[in-house]
Amino acid sequence: MPVAEEPELAPTPVPVARTQLQQSKAFLTHIQGEQQIELPQNLSVIHIGKPNDRIPPDIDISGFSNSEIVSRIHADIRVEGDFHYIEDVGSSNGTYINNLPLLPGNRHKMRPGDRISLGKGDLVTFLFQLS
């Protein structure tokens, strides 16, 4: 009497932790200079501005054209889980998200394609991107 073969069972998927290489990376692309800046993955708060005595910037804007409109301590990007938030920290010329002013102390949850202007007049502008 022939023995019926048992059907093969599909392997049970094993949850895999994301390695650092698989995690999405966040970038700011400087529109005026077409330079791409990768946001540091090891920081939960990323300071944007120019060199100063109080809080050194993680993203130094001093080498960009029109950087004179950017405050020494201008804005912070906060990383919480998979989300990035930007907050103006009391800059002189303001921070604008998609051409709308971001009031100091308020934060904006960034989405890919958001246009971030440091100061008035859209002179120092970045696009937020994820890969």
Whole-number average pLDDT of the chain: 87
Q: What is the pLDDT of residues 115-126, one digit of tens each?
A: 999 999 889 999
Annotated domain spans of the chain: 26-130
Domain 26-130 in this protein, CATH class: mainly beta
Q: What is the pLDDT of residues 74-101, one digit of tens each?
A: 999 999 998 999 999 999 999 999 999 9
Residue 47 has pLDDT above 60, yes or no: yes
Q: Is the pTM of this model over 0.85?
A: no
The pLDDT assigned to 36 comes to: 95
- Which DSSP string corresponds to 35-78? EEEEPPTT-SEEEEE---SSS--SEE-TTSTTGGGS-SEEEEEE
